[in-house]
Structure 1
């Protein structure tokens, strides 16, 4: 049972508080991974590189963190938790990065509603209304707008959307109180969870080497 517990949650072979260098290592690993996931996505959106902007590079950064935890022989359960959190962060980052770009460099464009459709938000949240719109020249937008589209919206009503003049991201409805850093704040819980998960996984991976086992990370390592 002790062996199974060590494999699942990590051996954590220390007495009392974990070594300070081990905490620093775990925190640094989490922050570096989160920064790489979000940073590559933001750069991809700003430069118009689909391979970076659509989250593929972020998933590669998440895989690198998982590989690191495998190399330090972290507990399998903690490794799986960190992998899921990192993947979720990578999948959420593209929308947040697009919001940052539109908030910073977007232009306001008036549009006219042609139809309104009610849709249920994911996770059992409140209903979300989706508006199909056309621009001032009568050309329909390829995406439906939900920001600014509500229960009282009717065909023929005017809405305002944010669009990127360079066409790097899809337009979206103009939200109230939009700020350049607002979308990134939505990622904060995922970043915190990734740092905490990585720290716990690294700390609990600490083991003392013994003659019967391959040499692990020794207490004296810095």
Structure 2
């Protein structure tokens, strides 16, 4: 049971406060990883590079952190938790970055609704309504809008959207209820990642080398 607990949660062979060196190392690794994941995701959305904007680069950083924790001897459960937090952060960051890009350089435009789909029972996430829209020149937009699209919306109605003049992020509808929920989620995941990484590194502390497996121990010779 002791070996199993050490393997799952880490040896943590210290009494009292954790070693400051390991605590600093864990915090540094967590902050560096969270910053790298957020940085590559935001940069990918801002510059329009798909390899960075779709979260693949952030996922690679999260996997690299997991490998680092395994090398340090961290518990397997903590390694898994931290890696999952990093993967979630890598996938959520680009979505939050889209909203920030539109806030910084987006432009507001009025469009015309051409059709309305979705609603409860339609199999669309959260029962949302999706509006297909066209610009002032009658050119359809390739992205359907859900913010501001409601059950009362009808074809021919005007809908306000915000779009990126550089065309690197898809347009979004402008609605009073559109907040910063995803940005809050990014901050919460980043903090959880830093704390989890610090705990994993601190609990990897071992006073003595790991014991050899029972099958490899030399047997005493018979006299």
- 1:68 and 2:80 are equivalent in the alignment: no
Equivalences for 1:73-152 in 2 at 5 Å?
73-119=73-119, 126-152=126-152
Q: Is the 8 A contact 1:66 1:82 kept in 2?
A: yes
Q: Is the 8 A contact 1:103 1:178 kept in 2?
A: no
Q: What's the secondary structure of 2:160's corresponding residue?
A: strand
How large is the RMSD of aligned CA atoms in angstroms? 2.3
Task: Decide which moves more: 29-38 or 48-57.
Answer: 48-57
Equivalences for 1:1-222 in 2 at 5 Å?
1-119=1-119, 126-176=126-176, 183-210=182-209
TM-score normalised by structure 2 residue count: 0.86
Deviations 1:121-162 (A, max 9, x none): 9xxx85322111111111211111111112322222111111
Alpha-carbon distance in structure 1 between the residues aligned to 2:94 and 2:160: 22
CA drift of 1:118 comes to 2.6
Alpha-carbon distance in structure 2 between the residues aligned to 1:25 and 1:113: 54
Q: What's the secondary structure of 2:128's corresponding residue?
A: strand
Alpha-carbon distance in structure 1 between the residues aligned to 2:198 and 2:102: 34
Unaligned runs of 5+ in 1: 214-222
CA drift of 1:20 comes to 2.2
CA drift of 1:4 comes to 0.9
Task: Decide which moves more: 15-24 or 169-178.
Answer: 169-178
Unaligned runs of 5+ in 2: 213-223
Alpha-carbon distance in structure 2 between the residues aligned to 1:133 and 1:167: 16
Q: Is the 8 A contact 2:131 2:149 kept in 1?
A: yes
TM-score normalised by structure 1 residue count: 0.86
CA separation of 1:28 and 1:120: change in aligned 2, threshold 3 A: farther
CA drift of 1:188 comes to 1.2
CA separation of 1:81 and 1:182: change in aligned 2, threshold 3 A: closer
CA separation of 1:211 and 1:187: change in aligned 2, threshold 3 A: closer
Alpha-carbon distance in structure 2 between the residues aligned to 1:77 and 1:136: 55
CA drift of 1:19 comes to 1.7
Alpha-carbon distance in structure 1 between the residues aligned to 2:99 and 2:164: 10
Task: Decide which moves more: 75-84 or 148-157.
Answer: 148-157
Task: Decide which moves more: 183-192 or 30-39.
Answer: 183-192
Greater Cα radius of gyration, structure 1 or 2: 2
